[in-house]
Every structure is written in C-alpha cells, then in structure tokens.
Structure 1
Amino acid sequence: MVAIKDPWFTVQAIDETTFAISEYGHWEKVHSYLLIGEEQAALIDTGLGIDSIKRITDQLTNLPIIVLTTHVHWDHIGGHGEFEKLYVHKDEEDWLINGIQKLPIEQIRKDVSRDITIATPATFQVETYRPFQGSPTGLLNDGDEINIGNRILTIYHTPGHSPGHVSILDTKNGYLFTGDLLYDETPIYAFFPTTNPTDLVESLEKISKVPHVTKIYGAHNTIGLHADILKEVQDAVRVLRENDLVRFGTGVHTFKGFSIQF
C-alpha cells in the first residue's frame, strides 16, 4: 500500500486501488477520489486548485487518467487543467467552458481563501486564482458505463445541488461516490439560485434505490458512510414531501446522519 506524506493533501487508501485525496487545511474539507483500473484510472473531481493534485496522482499510478466531474463548482474542478481527458454531464458543459453566470470571481476568491488552517504553497495567490474553464473531452449521461479495465463505473444523473450533478457507482466494489448530493456533518445545500430542491429530493430518492451499495463516499467531511444511511435517506424524502418542505426558504432539516438546507 502506498504511503504518501504531503504538505497540502492527505491521502487515505480505501483499498489497494482506491484512494481519497483530501484537502483538510481548507474549510471545505473537500475530497477527490482516484479509482485505479487495469487499463486506466478515473479521478473523481480535482479539488480546490490551491495545490497540484497531479503531484499526488503521479505517485499513485502510472496509468492514463480520466477526470469524471461530479459537478462544476469551483471546489471540485480546481485541478482540471492538469489533466487531458475531462468528462462532465451535458447539463454543465457550458459551466465548464464559460463559468457559472452571476457568480463573481470576487466571491469565489473570498471563499477559496478563508478559514485556511495550514500553509498554502507559494504558487497559490488568491489575487490571481481562477476556477478552471475549458472544453470537456466528452459528456456524461445518465446510465453511462465507463470501463477502466475490469472495473465498471456507472453514471447516475443526480441534479438538485447543480443541474448536471452526477453520482458514480463503482459496480465492482459497491462504492457510491455522491459528490455534493450526500455527505454528513454539514448541510447539503439546495438554497442557491442555481439549485433545485425538488430535483435534489428526487435525486436522493434515486440513489437510495441503487442496488448493492456497500459504502457512500461524499465530497466533504467523513470518508466512507455506511450504506445503511440510504434507508435514512428514504425516510427523509418521505418526511420532506409529506410536510411540504421541498422548496426554497424552509431552512435546515436534520435527519439521522445528514441534513439538508433549502
């Protein structure tokens, strides 16, 4: 098993071919995930872009890497420019190329630079920081299957937090990578103008029915939630609908293991 010590990233081995690459020095506590197949590797998101995530992936594999984007928010596409093959859901192709409209760079720079608890690299200058913009290699659609060599990754379109958000199932191991659709400790967000509460709840219901899930790996906070949380998700969906809470402005709703803010 590879052991990596790095001044910015923390690397956790989930198994011999699956790694979480985390940025704990930033308030987002964002995770990217490297999945290694027999023919190529898939990097799910590329983090904040404060430091070079490719420095880490180069130590973990010599295989060609494809980047699978859960969604086009700045904290998940920061290292996209370091890789050649980038994939995104078709509903966020425009965001990847042109950026998110009405999200000023000043706000992004404020968010990326606040509440940092460890030293950032000399190459990081908040005054010049910009989220990645560029054309994807290809587009993802609901139901797509990507074979990285004896390891098939299934794409689930799970909008709500963003229009083109996807979750990714590693069918070999039962790992479900949920991006910003499901994680613990801090609220799942669906209160921005670019979010959709109804879509988010439908997406939660969708992933709660994905078969053979063993672990859930969200993009923030705890790495590896037990699959039992999917039963809690089903209960939450029912409660939210029965009480007419699936709409903007109803606030934070707390359930066993996670919370949602509309």
Structure 2
Amino acid sequence: MLIEDQWFTVELIDDQTYAISEYGHWEKVHSFLLLGKEKAVLIDTGLGIDHIKRITDQLTSLPIMVVTTHVHWDHIGSHEQFSDFYVHELEEDWIVHGIKGLAMEQIRKDIARDITLPVPESFDARIYQPFQGQPAGLLKDGDTINLGERELKILHTPGHSPGHICLYDTSCGYLFSGDLLYEGTIYAFYPTTDPQQLVQSLVRIAELPVRKIFGSHHRLGLEPEIFIEVKKAAKFLQDHKLIKHGTGLHTFTCFSIQF
C-alpha cells in the first residue's frame, strides 16, 4: 500500500499517475492525480467526507491544478482546499451558485448511506453542504493543459450533465471519462441530463485511440475493448428509439444506461 490511510486508498497507475479512491462509500469514487515536470493535475476531489489534500500533499510537492469532470457533489467534495480549480464554462453557474436539479435532502441521504469504513469526526451528513466557489478559470472543448512533458486535452462530453468533460492524456493514451463511462449504471434520467447528448458523447470517445479508460466510479481501469460494446449499445438504443427520458434501464455486457 502506498499510503496507510483510514478513508482513502491510493493506487499507482504508473510512476506519474495515482488513483485516490473512496471505497468505503457505496459510490466507490475515484479521483486522479497526474504529475508532470512542472505541475500536477488533480481530476476531481471526491466526496468531501475526508480531506483529499492530506493525501495529495504526501504524493507531490508540485503545484496542483484541479480539473472538474462535472459539478456534482461527489466530484467537488474537497474543492475548498484548492484555490486553482477549473470547470467547464457551462457549469460555472453550478459551482458558484449551487448544483441544479438536486435537492439537498437527497444529497445528504446519498452521502450518508452504505458507508463501510470509519469516517472522520468532522464529517456530519446532516449538515453536509456541496462546495460552492469561484473557479480560477473555465474550460471548453479542445483546450489543452500542459503539465510539463505531459499534455491533457479537454473533451466536452455532455449528457450526464451539461458541462461534463473527459480528459485525454495524449502522452500516455489514458482517457479519464468521469461519469460518462464506467463499469456500472450510467445515469441519464435526471431533469438536468440529456440522453441524446450522452449517447453522442459515448460514440465520440469510442473513436479515440486509448490504452486505458479510467472512469470515476467502481472498477478502476477499463480496457479499450469496451468501446466495441459502446458502439453496439449506441446503435441498439438508436435503432429501437430508446434514447429519451423514461425508457428505463438498458443493460449491456459491461455497463448499463438508465434514461
């Protein structure tokens, strides 16, 4: 084990890339720390049950830029610990004024349920508040982030949320897919989701030449062969006119989509 910790699990993807996971919560959330020669990028900051900066401080002394895949509570939990954080331009309002379409009562219920590891004394789900704050900057499709001999490309992949992004590590061939693709149920049934955009985004990433896909939940790391199933799923859903709210849960070999 890289770091002994009660809440976070740190796993080495390669010598410049770490997964920081919260396996004690039912969502099994992953954040990712990517190191370059000049700076580091932290992709999302997790649930906020415990402070992720305590972990990143042990992993690097490089300045850290936080890049947000999307502004949902389980991805921005420790944003308050970092001043240099970025979101897609379509979700600036969400990070500043609050997440749209999610009731506080439901958020607090979701963060408190099915916890299997001890949580810090500072955590109290009854008063949990998703982070709000002013980002250091905004992102758009096609932007690049240079870490020093390592470059990330921003892909706007809406559907799960309006400003959802994936990050394509062109140096390593890694795709950090956020909540667009992971092994489990992909959610597109909220009023703020868009089923058509979600499927279009899945088709877009399925054309990328990747070595590994890292989603933000559940199993850590997927092989690029999953893109074959993604393309089949998209065609099936399109052919059967299922890409709309209310058609329910659609299960495929490696994942499900709920509209």
Tell me, yes or no, whether TM beats 0.5.
yes
1:223 paired residue number? 220
In 1, Cα distance between the equivalents of 2:257 and 2:114? Answer: 23
Q: Secondary structure at the match of 2:7?
A: coil
- How does 1:182-221 map onto structure 2 within 5 Å? 182-184=181-183, 186-210=184-208, 212-221=209-218
Instruction: Give the aligned residue type for 1:215.
Output: K
In 2, Cα distance between the equivalents of 1:127 and 1:135? Answer: 25
In 1, Cα distance between the equivalents of 2:119 and 2:90? Answer: 33
In 1, Cα distance between the equivalents of 2:153 and 2:218? Answer: 23
* 1:241, distance to aligned residue in structure 2 (A): 0.3
Instruction: Give the aligned residue type for 1:214.
Output: R
1:109 paired residue number? 108
Runs of 5+ in structure 1 lacking a partner? none
* 1:127, distance to aligned residue in structure 2 (A): 2.3
Q: Secondary structure at the match of 1:127?
A: helix
- How does 1:70-149 map onto structure 2 within 5 Å? 70-149=69-148
1:50 paired residue number? 49
2:235 paired residue number? 238
* 1:226, distance to aligned residue in structure 2 (A): 0.2
Greater shift, 105-114 or 16-25, is seen at: 105-114
Does the 8 Å contact 2:87/2:139 carry over to 1?
Answer: yes
Instruction: Give the aligned residue type for 2:168.
Output: L
* 1:145, distance to aligned residue in structure 2 (A): 0.7
1:248 to 245, 255, 258: 245
* 1:78, distance to aligned residue in structure 2 (A): 0.1
Instruction: Give the aligned residue type for 2:235.
Output: R
Q: Secondary structure at the match of 1:181?
A: coil
Kindly provide the CA deviation profile for residues 222-248 of structure 1, in whole angstroms up to 9, marking residues without a partner as x.
Answer: 111001111211111111101101011
* 1:104, distance to aligned residue in structure 2 (A): 2.4
- How does 1:12-23 map onto structure 2 within 5 Å? 12-23=11-22
Q: Secondary structure at the match of 1:226?
A: coil
Greater shift, 111-120 or 100-109, is seen at: 100-109
In 1, Cα distance between the equivalents of 2:214 and 2:101? Answer: 30
In 1, Cα distance between the equivalents of 2:2 and 2:225? Answer: 30
Instruction: Give the aligned residue type for 2:70.
Output: H
Q: Secondary structure at the match of 1:230?
A: helix
Kindly provide the CA deviation profile for residues 115-151 of structure 1, in whole angstroms up to 9, marking residues without a partner as x.
Answer: 1111110111122211110011011100111001100
Does the 8 Å contact 2:97/2:132 carry over to 1?
Answer: yes
Runs of 5+ in structure 2 lacking a partner? none
* 1:79, distance to aligned residue in structure 2 (A): 0.5
In 2, Cα distance between the equivalents of 1:25 and 1:116? Answer: 6
- What's the TM-score once normalised by structure 1's chain length? 0.97
* 1:105, distance to aligned residue in structure 2 (A): 1.7
The percentage of aligned residue pairs carrying the same residue is 61
Runs of 4+ in 1 over 4 A off after TM superposition: none
* 1:259, distance to aligned residue in structure 2 (A): 1.1
Instruction: Give the aligned residue type for 1:135.
Output: Q
Q: Secondary structure at the match of 1:106?
A: helix
1:156 paired residue number? 155
